[in-house]
Structure 1
Amino acid sequence: MTRNRINSRRILLLGGVALVSLSALPAAAQTAPGSTTPPPSTQDPTVPATGATGAAPAADDQSGFSNDIVVTAQRREEKLSRVPLSVQAFSGEQLTTKVIVSEQDVGQLVPGLLVKNGQTSNQLSFSMRGQTLDPFSGTSAAVLTYFNEAPYSPYNTSTVFFDLGSVQVLKGPQGTLFGRNATGGAVLYTSPTPGNDFSGNILVRGGQRNNIQVQGAVDLPLVKDVLLVRIAGDLTKQDGYIRNRYTGNTLGDKDSKAGRITILLKPTEKFRNTLLVQYSDFRGTEGSGNLWTYYTTPNAAGQQFINNGVTSVRNTNGTPLTSTLDTVYNVYSGVLFNRSGNNLGDSNLTPGPAYGPGRFPGGVAGYAAFSRANPYDIYLQFDLPHRAHSTFIANTTEFDVSDGLTIKNIFSFMDSYTRLPGNLAGGPFGALWLYNDPNNATGVSGNGGPGGQTFKAKTYSEELQLQGKLFDDKLSYTLGGFYTSFKHFDIIPVHVGAEINPTAGAAPAFGLPADIDYTYNAKDISKAVYAQIDYKLTDKLKVTLGGRYTWESVSLTQAPGSIFSVTGVQPVGKLQHRDLSAPSWTFNLQYQIDPENMIYFAQRGSFRSGNFNGTVLPLNDANFFGNEFAHDFEVGYKFSGRIGSVPFRFNIAAYDEIVKKAQHAVYAVVGGNPAGFTLNVPEAVTKGVEVDTSISLLPWLDITATGAYTDAKYTKGVVNVARLTGVAGSTILFDSYPDTPKWSGSLGVDLTLPFPESVGKVVLHGEVYGQTHTFFSSNEGSVTPGTRLEGYSNVNLRLSWNDIGGSKFSAGVYMKNVFDRLYYVSGYALGAAGGYNTAYPGEPRTIAGEVSFKF
């Protein structure tokens, strides 16, 4: 092996090898295009036409309860109380009342649903029922997002919420109708259908941190009942709540613009076509997590400690910990220098700037203590500008062949671009910057700091669907075929020790700084056929059977500049390819005891496709991981009616989900250095209970309550990694289930204040959300300790004055995190790669107001 090859291998290992399969962090979806009401042949006969797909109040049914919600969890409109699945749904009005203005806020809508940051504030993913998305894994999201029934992923950028019709959260494996890769659930977004009258609305928000948001929508009936248009837009700006003390600027700033046009064509009663085109442009800056814990270098007795800035606890789990951050910026700080000639680490060693690059009073320990004392402050040498844009097109065509058959076609296209800088060490130490120096030896993105990753993606999807009824409407069916093509090109620069002088002191012996690129082209083509039938065995008993079979074709090739090509491990353009396939299924039994009470049993299965991790050494396909399989058992009870004269809704579900070959990222020690892989963990089991209830105790008092108990464990968590490490008997233990609080819940109260009707309706809304602790790694008891985030609770308030003085104006003021509680929403586990972990704090107390006008 040549010296160049040896040095390259060292560079790969120092960089964590697997850093960073960030392409696996699709952002959450936003609002959805308009969708027409299904025809009578495919619509639940107890559900009135609403004019828009998604959550909406239903008219009085047999129970007399007027607040049952209409959902599309089974690809047709049904009342929530009649759907034999665990679903929570919220209308656009409810989202406004609950102050849901971002993806992060959605997590507090649904206990058990966690919205977590990736490396920065713009990389978001959903976790539910123990099913999560690991950083560095290259896996698909376990909880998928849909934009009016079309798959929607802007790919590594957050989005904006505007003109939102509803949010629906489907829990558990989605076996048939939303079956592709959805082992944890699905989040469905919808937007209103263009109206038949000229009308619209405009909303202006303003508040702390220079917040300004302007949203609006207008319906234009160009030809009444035939050609209807809706135009909507959003402008959002706000400073972030993380302050970069090095530059004096804020991080996590929002600066976005988005516009959407929806065109509904109905030339006949039997034919409807909806075309949606949306363009979004995102600017601002990336928020960044701060140093949470780090691992010390072994002392003379071989002891290591986990330092969190407040305490230093000895590691007693028997697993040697990676200590790169402490070793470089503490132990060897006397023989390593930055490019200005000052010692690294503790800035008290030599004269010079006290703070960065690579220096801080007290070194790594000093900065860890600073991070805990100043959770919203960070020292970074550069700010982190965020740049992204996306174009989304969706076309939905529906044709009523007869009263009993409708043909539906859904086509979508998304083209997205994201540029995403970051410092994954979360502080002044350049342990891992995401940029390349200009004209560096291996990289192709040599823009210097802060640089950034580049993600370019194009996604096409096509779905043909038949819906209908037979046998005097006793049998309802949905048949379909699905195709999607997802192609992306990623450049992930990794710069380890960026501030280190490569020719001074001991730097040459460490092979630092290490300045490389992971760059590759990836392609995933999925094809599926599916069928689902509902059959009424009696007037009260209904059975549902569904099946889906999916064929996946995944491939990856190294692109010019890739470290793997530069070192000769894998030539540019050499194809890695696998064909994969698996079934998914659904079985439900529901018994409608009476118009108000329903019980059900559901059993479903789904899978997540295997793939290649583009940031893992591809030698002998070591970067490939196999399919993940999930199946569950769920029983539930739903009540929707009245207790006496009081409207009351109550839903409860208990489930048991078993996951085989669970896809997770992990690090192993290879030749004394950390290397990353995506593994299939043999088995995990999640058991839980979820409750959702609401009651109108008095005409002026409404109460809602939700809760979730989630017990997630690795039941077979030992993975043999001898093939990957070359060490016989080498194993990794998975023992902490990430991103899964055991208890979570919320309590909301709406109080209508006693003002005359002529004044308008004044409502005070209060809501408290709480959850117990979580971990942000799967290996708390082995290679990545110190990744526990404590539980928290916070309170939101909103005072609304609707239809002021009988006018079309409304106003409101709201406060989020009323008691200004410090809490952490997510973490980034790099302990086994670089000897440190970072964590991202939640939003501090924020006050804002809004004014809206409908016309």
Structure 2
Amino acid sequence: MMKSIFHGGVALGALLAASAPAWAQTADAAPDPALAATSADDAGVDIIVTANRREERLQDVPVSVSAFGGEQLQDMRISDVRDLNNVAPGLRISAADAAANPKIFIRGAGLSDFNPSSSSGVGIYVDGVYVGSPLAQLAGFYDIERIEVLRGPQGTLFGRNTTGGAINVITKRPQQAFGGEASAEYGERNSLTLNAAVTGPIATDRLAFRVSGQYVRDDGTTKNRVTGNRIGYQDRYAARGQLLFTPDDDVEFLAQGSFFRNRGSAVPVKHRGLFAQPGTPTGPDGLCAGDFRDGGCRDALGYYDSSDDPFSVESNLEGKDEVDVKTLSLSATIGLPGFDVISVTAYQDAWRDARENTDGSPLQMLESRYNSSQSQFSQEIRFQSQGHGRARWVAGAYYMRDHLRDNSSYDVLRDLRPLFTTPENPTGVSVEDSVALFSWPYTQKTDSYAFFGQLDYDVTERITVTGGLRWSADDKAINYTSQAEGGAIVLLRKQDRKTFSDWSGRAILAYKFSPDVNGYLSYNRGYKSGGFFGGQATLPEQLEPYDNETLNAYEAGLKTQFMDGRMRANASAFYYDYANQQVYSLEVRNGISMQVLTNAASSRAWGGELEVAGSPLRGLSVNFSASYLNTRILDFVSAGEDYSGNKLQHSPEWTLSGFVSYDAELANGSAITFSGSANWRSRVFFDNTERQRVSTGPLTLVDAQVGWRSPGGGFEAGVFAKNLFDKRYLGGISALESLGYDALSFGAPRRAGVYANVKF
């Protein structure tokens, strides 16, 4: 769906979550009697994560992190990053595109700009490779070992600086034992999802392979009343091949290649008129405050959508969202006496061609085409200790080259061209009246460099201190043109180059009160590079570089285990202090809606999180999380509009999430399986204005699954339902007030069906 405007009118089984301090008893230290024994059941707490770029127990990592295992992901039907929305504390994800550009926020930190020139405040990493392009971030999640959601700035150890956090995806690796797995599900609207993977040896103990893939399709969520066709359909597939070469016990090479292709529909736009007709009440902004479906609220061309069904539209253009993503990577680990050397080399190429009926009407008022290609090469090298003794350290360097080419366009008010047609102007173009085909071809090249290091040191058996530091620089060069009618009319030209650099780091004090109670205090400084705006611009000030965003984050946490280690309860409290927060908005300037990406002088956020998870009874797994988030823009004035005092967008004050699974074993060794999840969140605002119209109210979503599993667990089948109660809810709103309408995108309706999984 449209997220943009133009000149002249548009211008993350159980949810296993914890964060704990690193602690290790040194070989030459006398054991502390208070720590000599533990009631924890190791089988219940030894969840392995790589939040510190090395394998560690989840409970020993000094980072706020939630971890999702592969079976939990399958039970929750996680197929791309959007499905993680609200399932981890403080995590909010939405997307108004079918196959690109997710908007990811953690604890209120993120960025809603969809243009490929900008980078998110939350980084996505797949097997250690940073996925920088928003064109590639919705490539399917399949054949996953686990997903880790890291909350707070991750500026020290990860490939690109991020202020909000990171989503770390670890895929399943090749194995020396031959085996495989497959799953299939079929549901409403002829929805079909297929997953498969095969692994095994090529050369015993030396070379192994893994091949996996995914296919997803359905008939579409929405009916187009103009043509009678179903739109909003899915049609995508992905494949991945891996080779694991271990020539020596201390040496391994993992080579991967993957491909993702989407050929589905664009997300349909639901039209909501804003210009009040005589006798229709208006709000304080002069826009419609009446019944949007009775004709009293119309757009600039007089159209209104009379249907209150969010999945029924009138559209003259049935759009497509075509995306191709190709990725190659090579990871090498070499063990040397006392430390390891890790190298990660990767290349990714992403291409997108999306066509969208942005006005959601049968008229030709606003039609969009997003055409972009982006290539990325990255190289990281790390030197890190092997975890012996009091000190654990890592040091390294990172480089990335990103090359973006964009040639997107908006066809604006084409139905009005006859009004401007003359013998001298046979095409009816009138740029001053925003009646034209506007495009903005540009290229952007970015070279990123970073040097980093971190040390964890056990002062005593109870106390661990952590310190980390990173320096980063992004050298960006842009060549931009804003034009009309394919270049016949040039509106703006801009060539610029600038280097954005800054430092980030962390300091953590962790204390082990007892075998079952850990506490920590942390300070993290994160920054996100400044840059150049890459959307459609008509004013020179839109193209001025925006500044680095910095975030100082303060956090305190307490982690506990109880019921002989079968359960965990973890709580944290945090305070965020923003400077120059990067903010994307749609603003009306001189009667014209325009895209703006600029800096808010200061913002702040504070809140708390609670997570309770574990297995209190045999066969039963439970998880509950709750988060509170209080956000405020402290100082932000843009185009004469003062947003100071408003809440940050995409930052619900309260979120609650619960997951339960139960396996009832039968006498023959088989089992009846049940899993269910529910999440609730309070009101969400979609922009900086804190207007009720550009928001959506509290929402509860429920999923459920019931099945039968064979003895030994090799086969399972059953029924499922996503969005069990078929809630109709908004996923996003683009307020296009100068054209007299809001563009609404809705979350998916209920999808119920049958499933089968097999392992061999």
Distance 1:270 1:302 in 2: 69
Q: Mapping of 1:834-845 within 5 angstroms?
A: 834-845=739-750
Distance 2:275 2:501 in 1: 42
Q: What's the CA shift for 1:426?
A: 2.7
Match of 1:776 in 2: 686
Match of 1:259 in 2: 239
1:395 has 2:305 as partner: no
Q: Mapping of 1:395-434 within 5 angstroms?
A: 395-402=330-337, 404-434=338-368
Distance 2:289 2:110 in 1: 25
Distance 2:496 2:277 in 1: 38
Distance 1:537 1:562 in 2: 65
Match of 2:377 in 1: 460
Match of 1:660 in 2: 579
Match of 2:715 in 1: 809
How has the CA–CA distance of structure 1 residues 626 and 835 changed in structure 2, closer, same or farther, with 3 Å as cutoff? Answer: farther
Return 5+ residue gaps in structure 1 as ranges: 1-10, 18-27, 29-42, 47-59, 313-322, 330-344, 346-362, 435-451, 722-729
Match of 1:820 in 2: 726
How has the CA–CA distance of structure 1 residues 806 and 482 changed in structure 2, closer, same or farther, with 3 Å as cutoff? Answer: closer
More displaced, 195-204 or 474-483?
Answer: 195-204
Distance 2:723 2:541 in 1: 51
* Structure 2 letter corresponding to 1:146: Y
Between Structure 1 and Structure 2, the one with more strand by share is: 2
How has the CA–CA distance of structure 1 residues 618 and 579 changed in structure 2, closer, same or farther, with 3 Å as cutoff? Answer: farther
The answer on whether the counterparts of 2:505 and 2:526 sit within 8 Å (CA) in structure 1 is yes
The answer on whether the counterparts of 1:668 and 1:732 sit within 8 Å (CA) in structure 2 is no
For residues 352-411 of structure 1, the C-alpha deviation after alignment (integer angstroms, 9 at most, x for no partner) is: xxxxxxxxxxx33xx2x52xx111111110211221211101110010111x21000001
The answer on whether the counterparts of 2:99 and 2:323 sit within 8 Å (CA) in structure 1 is no
The answer on whether the counterparts of 1:200 and 1:218 sit within 8 Å (CA) in structure 2 is yes
Match of 2:390 in 1: 474
The answer on whether the counterparts of 1:282 and 1:386 sit within 8 Å (CA) in structure 2 is yes
Match of 1:601 in 2: 521
Match of 2:7 in 1: 13
2:609 maps to which of 683, 690, 696: 690
Q: Secondary structure at the match of 2:627?
A: strand
Q: Mapping of 1:70-109 within 5 angstroms?
A: 70-109=48-87
Distance 2:44 2:611 in 1: 14
The answer on whether the counterparts of 1:738 and 1:777 sit within 8 Å (CA) in structure 2 is yes
Q: What's the CA shift for 1:83?
A: 1.5
How has the CA–CA distance of structure 1 residues 834 and 191 changed in structure 2, closer, same or farther, with 3 Å as cutoff? Answer: same
Q: Mapping of 1:96-175 within 5 angstroms?
A: 96-118=74-96, 122-135=100-113, 138-153=117-132, 155-156=134-135, 158-175=138-155
Q: What's the CA shift for 1:827?
A: 2.4
2:661 maps to which of 750, 757, 772: 750
Identity %: 24
* Structure 1 letter corresponding to 2:693: G
1:307 has 2:307 as partner: no
How has the CA–CA distance of structure 1 residues 554 and 484 changed in structure 2, closer, same or farther, with 3 Å as cutoff? Answer: same
* Structure 1 letter corresponding to 2:632: K
1:830 has 2:736 as partner: yes
Q: What's the CA shift for 1:249?
A: 2.1
Distance 1:717 1:742 in 2: 21
Q: What's the CA shift for 1:740?
A: 1.0
Q: Secondary structure at the match of 1:464?
A: strand
The answer on whether the counterparts of 1:289 and 1:827 sit within 8 Å (CA) in structure 2 is no
Q: What's the CA shift for 1:707?
A: 1.1
Q: What's the CA shift for 1:501?
A: 3.9
The answer on whether the counterparts of 1:120 and 1:288 sit within 8 Å (CA) in structure 2 is no
The answer on whether the counterparts of 1:646 and 1:697 sit within 8 Å (CA) in structure 2 is no
For residues 535-581 of structure 1, the C-alpha deviation after alignment (integer angstroms, 9 at most, x for no partner) is: 1100111000000001111121136967796544545xx63111110
More displaced, 505-514 or 177-186?
Answer: 505-514
The answer on whether the counterparts of 2:567 and 2:612 sit within 8 Å (CA) in structure 1 is yes
Q: Secondary structure at the match of 2:362?
A: coil
For residues 38-96 of structure 1, the C-alpha deviation after alignment (integer angstroms, 9 at most, x for no partner) is: xxxxx9989xxxxxxxxxxxxx9862242222111111111111222211001001111
For residues 171-215 of structure 1, the C-alpha deviation after alignment (integer angstroms, 9 at most, x for no partner) is: 011120126231111001111111111111121221111122221
Match of 1:587 in 2: 507
Match of 2:32 in 1: none
Q: Secondary structure at the match of 2:416?
A: coil
Q: What's the CA shift for 1:167?
A: 0.8
Q: What's the CA shift for 1:297?
A: 8.6
For residues 307-355 of structure 1, the C-alpha deviation after alignment (integer angstroms, 9 at most, x for no partner) is: 366369xxxxxxxxxx9x95731xxxxxxxxxxxxxxx3xxxxxxxxxx
The answer on whether the counterparts of 2:102 and 2:134 sit within 8 Å (CA) in structure 1 is no
Q: What's the CA shift for 1:413?
A: 0.7
Distance 1:763 1:327 in 2: 51
Match of 1:204 in 2: 184
Distance 1:591 1:748 in 2: 30
The answer on whether the counterparts of 1:213 and 1:235 sit within 8 Å (CA) in structure 2 is yes
Q: What's the CA shift for 1:675?
A: 3.7
Q: Secondary structure at the match of 1:104?
A: helix
Return 5+ residue gaps in structure 2 as ranges: 13-21, 26-36, 423-427
Distance 2:600 2:479 in 1: 26
The answer on whether the counterparts of 1:119 and 1:288 sit within 8 Å (CA) in structure 2 is no
* Structure 1 letter corresponding to 2:90: G
Q: What's the CA shift for 1:241?
A: 1.2
1:521 has 2:443 as partner: yes
Q: Secondary structure at the match of 1:94?
A: helix
Q: Secondary structure at the match of 2:72?
A: helix
Q: Secondary structure at the match of 2:79?
A: coil
How has the CA–CA distance of structure 1 residues 285 and 308 changed in structure 2, closer, same or farther, with 3 Å as cutoff? Answer: farther
The answer on whether the counterparts of 2:98 and 2:321 sit within 8 Å (CA) in structure 1 is no
Match of 1:338 in 2: none
* Structure 1 letter corresponding to 2:704: L
1:624 maps to which of 541, 545, 551: 545
* Structure 1 letter corresponding to 2:288: N
Match of 1:796 in 2: 703
How has the CA–CA distance of structure 1 residues 65 and 231 changed in structure 2, closer, same or farther, with 3 Å as cutoff? Answer: same
* Structure 2 letter corresponding to 1:258: A
Q: Mapping of 1:634-653 within 5 angstroms?
A: 634-640=555-561, 642-643=562-563, 645=564, 647-653=566-572
1:612 has 2:532 as partner: yes
Distance 2:279 2:746 in 1: 32
Q: What's the CA shift for 1:732?
A: 4.0
Q: Secondary structure at the match of 1:779?
A: coil
1:496 has 2:418 as partner: no
Distance 1:501 1:561 in 2: 18
Q: Secondary structure at the match of 2:418?
A: coil
Distance 1:397 1:766 in 2: 40
The answer on whether the counterparts of 1:238 and 1:253 sit within 8 Å (CA) in structure 2 is yes
Distance 1:303 1:685 in 2: 28
Match of 1:725 in 2: none
Q: Secondary structure at the match of 2:155?
A: coil
Q: What's the CA shift for 1:505?
A: 9.5
How has the CA–CA distance of structure 1 residues 286 and 152 changed in structure 2, closer, same or farther, with 3 Å as cutoff? Answer: same
Q: What's the CA shift for 1:152?
A: 1.5
Match of 1:676 in 2: 595
Q: Secondary structure at the match of 1:306?
A: coil
How has the CA–CA distance of structure 1 residues 613 and 565 changed in structure 2, closer, same or farther, with 3 Å as cutoff? Answer: farther
Match of 1:849 in 2: 754
The answer on whether the counterparts of 2:219 and 2:230 sit within 8 Å (CA) in structure 1 is yes
Q: What's the CA shift for 1:305?
A: 3.4
Match of 2:627 in 1: 708
Match of 1:186 in 2: 166
**TM-score, normalised relative to structure 1:** 0.79
How has the CA–CA distance of structure 1 residues 801 and 327 changed in structure 2, closer, same or farther, with 3 Å as cutoff? Answer: closer
* Structure 2 letter corresponding to 1:763: T
Q: Secondary structure at the match of 1:67?
A: helix
Distance 1:455 1:647 in 2: 50
How has the CA–CA distance of structure 1 residues 527 and 663 changed in structure 2, closer, same or farther, with 3 Å as cutoff? Answer: same
* Structure 2 letter corresponding to 1:841: F
